[in-house]
Amino acid sequence: MYDPLVNAHPGIGAPHSSSYWVDTAGVAPQDDGPLTHDIDVDVAIIGAGYTGLSCALHLAREHGVRAVVLEANQVAWGCSGRNGSFARISGGRVPLAELISRYGEREAKHYFAEMTAALNTVRGLIREGNIDCDVQPDGVFKVASQAKHVDALKREVGLYNDVLNYAAQFVSEAQVQDVHRGAESFGALYMPDGFSMHPLKLAWGIHRLAREAGATVHVGSPVVDWTSSKGSHRLVTPGGVVTARKVVVATNGYTSTTLNSATAGRVLPVHSQIIVTRPLSAEEKRQTLPGSECMFDTRNLLSYYRRLPDDRILFGGRSAITGRESESPQHRQNLHDALCRKFPALTGIEVDYNWGGWVAVSESSLPFIYRLPELENVFSGGGYAGSGVSFSVQVGKRLAQMVAGDPKPTAVDFLHQSPKRFPFQPFLRMGQRMAYAWYRFKDAQ
């Protein structure tokens, strides 16, 4: 499997890796094929996930700029076609209390407003663009997997209510049984906003809208070399060279260390993996997830899960450290064990699908939308830490505003700062291994 810390680029026109989403998405909309000759453009966008596609769409629609998107493999070949399908009020992975203590209440409120706007941006695109992506009813539960997590959840509800003026609720152990049955269900934090959908259909929908608005999307066109001179960028792909005045880097967790020295080392690619079971019987459904809400738990190495429209369970979590290790069947087994611990009624259930992808964790565990100080007219967004379905679409929209000349399109200061490089880069994987061991120890207490 492609490993951004090892390989130079994700491939040249590789097909989507097999997944439940690929099998159920239908026929891909038309793209512009691989680049076959040299071109000269105003704006080139590297990466055709939600960030890049949304940037291309908003540039064309709201700023009259027809960008060219360069994608190594297929549209939404990265996280955007592989994720857990939760579109929530989220971005990054910093607990609310820590966010407030790091940046203060004012900045936390601005950030919450931006995350809420992100969800509304996605809803708007789905509605106005007639994107048929199997949207499920709203409702998100953060479920206490241990009794001792309940007090922290109640405090978090208090912060949502009192600081952010948001109607999160605490749901008791007895009440949560209506939506979440099983062995690890001690109460939950409920957020009324947030839904699941078909992530690949969503990406293909945004891709269709971007092309209809005037963007060009070249698949099978990895940027394999990048040089810059006098405000002009030379992006080399196997089929042709793109000379661009402005470049948007939207490669997120799939950014190789060799793409450009200015972007290297600013995100840690972290592998997240998903299994999908066979369809449940009516009784299994009753004993596990009677509803279709988005669920995740309170572990440090958290699990996320939902019941799919055809009554299968999608269950995901952190897995391997390196690309090579991700191919071991042990990680699929670990997820299966975690699923069955949570829902004993599913012990031994068959798994029909298994896949994974690279989420991007920044040094602050929060996203970024910034103009690179090291290179002229280069912009980048990412670092969603596995919570980027809605926020990446919003970041694409904000990047379009920055490309069009707005230096700071949100009120959130930290979003627009250069993400710090991780220290001790050669030892990143070793550090991650130690962190995982510590989290596993804490989660088992």
Segment interacting with ligand FAD (CB under 6 A) among 81-89, 338-346, 425-433, 434-442: 81-89
CA distances in angstroms from 27 to 31, 168, 205, 255, listed in the order given: 12, 38, 12, 27
Q: What does the block give as tokens for 145?
A: 């997997």
> Per rule CB under 6 A, is residue 195 in the interface with ligand FAD?
no
Question: Out of 19, 83, 326, 377, which residue is the one contacting ligand FAD (CB under 6 A)?
Answer: 83
Q: Exactly one of 140, 159, 179, 250 binds ligand FAD (CB under 6 A); which one?
A: 250
For position 47 contacting ligand FAD by CB under 6 A, the verdict is yes
Which of 118-126, 251-259, 415-423, 429-437 is the region at the interface with ligand FAD (rule: CB under 6 A)? 251-259
> CA triplet 172, 177, 179: central angle to 5 degrees?
105
Q: Which two tokens stand for residue 400?
A: 């379009």
Give me the sign of the Cα torsion angle 243, 249, 251, 255: positive
Pick 90 or 377: Cβ nearer ligand FAD: 90
382 near ligand FAD, judged by CB under 6 A: yes
Tell me the three state secondary structure of residue 112. Answer: helix
Considering only 72, 131, 206, 275, the residue that binds ligand FAD (CB under 6 A) is 72
Q: How far is the CB of 270 from ligand FAD (least distance, A)?
A: 9
Segment near ligand FAD (CB under 6 A); pick from 37-45, 125-133, 163-171, 253-261: 253-261
| Residue 389 interacts with ligand FAD (CB under 6 A): yes or no | yes
- Radius of gyration, alpha carbons of the chain: 21
**Three-state DSSP class for residue 369:** strand
Closest CB to ligand FAD among residues 85, 145: 85
Q: Which helix (H) or strand (E) holds 209?
A: helix 199-213
Tell me which DSSP letter residue 231 carries: T
Sequence-ordered strand ranges (E) for 256-349: 267-277, 294-297, 303-307, 313-318
Is 223 near ligand FAD (CB under 6 A)?
A: yes
Residues of this chain, 392-411, that bind ligand FAD according to CB under 6 A = 392
Among 1, 48, 140, 361, binds ligand FAD (CB under 6 A): 48
State the DSSP H helix or E strand holding residue 340, giving kind and residue range, or none if neither. helix 329-342
**Does 80 sit near ligand FAD (CB under 6 A)?**
yes
Site mask, ligand FAD, residues 266-285, x = CB under 6 A? Answer: ------x-x-----------
Of 26-34, 77-85, 108-116, 346-354, which part binds ligand FAD (CB under 6 A)?
77-85
User: Do β-strands 368-371 and 378-382 pair in parallel, antiparallel, or remain unpaired?
Assistant: antiparallel
Identify which range of 139-147, 151-159, 250-258, 342-350 contacts ligand FAD by CB under 6 A.
Answer: 250-258
Q: Torsion angle, CA of 29/34/37/40, rounded to 10 degrees?
A: 60
Q: ∠ CA(198), CA(203), CA(205), 5° rounding?
A: 95
Residue count (the chain) = 445
CB of 238 or CB of 279, closer to ligand FAD: 238
- Asked if 42 and 219 touch (Cβ cutoff 8 Å), the reply is no
Question: What Cα–Cα distance (Å) separates residue 4 from each residue in 8, 78, 253, 386?
Answer: 7, 12, 8, 16
Q: Give the pair of three-digit tokens for residue 349.
A: 């259930």
- Provide the token pair at 282: 């009516």
46 binds ligand FAD (CB under 6 A): yes
Q: Is 44 in the site for ligand FAD (CB under 6 A)?
A: no
Return the range that interacts with ligand FAD (CB under 6 A); candidates 66-74, 102-110, 152-160, 344-352: 66-74
| Listed residue (169, 84, 143) closest to 299, CA to CA | 143
Task: Kindly indicate which of the ranges 114-122, 210-218, 378-386, 416-424 contains the residues binding ligand FAD, using the contact rule CB under 6 A.
Answer: 378-386
**Is residue 265 involved in binding ligand FAD (CB under 6 A)?**
no
- Examine residue 82 and tell whether it contacts ligand FAD (CB under 6 A): yes
Nearer to ligand FAD, 104 or 309 (CB): 309
CB of 162 to ligand FAD, least distance (A): 25
Residue 61 or residue 158: which is nearer to ligand FAD going by CB? Answer: 61
Q: Is 419 in the site for ligand FAD (CB under 6 A)?
A: no
Output phi, psi for 347, to 5 deg.
-50, 125
Q: How far is the CB of 250 from ligand FAD (least distance, A)?
A: 5
Say if CB 240 and CB 37 are below 8 A apart.
yes
Q: How far is CA 96 from the centre of its chain?
A: 19
Residue of 1, 35, 55, 79 interacting with ligand FAD (CB under 6 A)? 79
Contact residues for ligand FAD (CB under 6 A)? Answer: 9-10, 46-52, 70-73, 77-80, 82-86, 90, 222-223, 250-254, 259, 272, 274, 304, 316, 356-357, 359, 382, 384, 386-389, 392
